[in-house]
């Protein structure tokens, strides 16, 4: 996909971004920083032992290709991470969130 940027508009990757229990609520988009070349999705399903409740969280955002491993589902192209991801790693969710917070 190619497009022409107007004055004041930064042409770069745009991704859906959220951390939510309902993947359908992930409607916010974000322009990714220059270093990020992929959009990602990660679904965490598990059980929180302290409360004995089910954990079902989806997180989406911008990512680098080097960190697209394991249950992290990455894609190329604007807003390509709209589909519901699959993956069972709560630790990876925390690592991804920490990485995103580090850069922003």
- Structural domains of the chain, ranges and CATH numbers in brackets: 14-103 (2.10.60.10)
Q: Which of 64, 53, 61, 51 is nearest to 93 (CA)?
A: 61
Residue 44's pLDDT is 82
pTM flag (> 0.85): no
Tokens in use for 72?
């992290």
pLDDT (tens digit per residue) in 45-86: 776 555 656 678 889 999 999 999 988 999 999 999 986 544
Q: What is the pLDDT of residues 31-41, one digit of tens each?
A: 999 999 999 99
Q: What is the pLDDT of residues 5-41, one digit of tens each?
A: 443 345 689 999 998 888 778 899 999 999 999 999 9
What's the N-to-C CA distance of the chain in angstroms?
27
How far apart CA 21 and CA 55 sit, in angstroms, is 8
Phi/psi of residue 59, nearest 5 degrees? -130, 140
């Amino acid at each position: 996909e190619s497009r022409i940027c107007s004055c004041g508009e930064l042409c770069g990757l745009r991704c859906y971004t959220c951390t939510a229990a309902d993947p359908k609520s992930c409607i916010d988009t974000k322009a990714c920083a220059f270093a990020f070349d992929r959009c990602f999705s990660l679904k965490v399903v598990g059980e929180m032992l302290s409360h004995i409740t089910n954990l079902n969280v989806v997180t989406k955002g911008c990512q680098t290709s080097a960190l697209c491993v394991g249950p992290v589902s990455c894609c190329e192209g604007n807003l390509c991470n709209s589909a519901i991801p699959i993956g069972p790693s709560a630790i990876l969710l925390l690592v991804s969130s920490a990485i995103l917070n580090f850069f922003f």
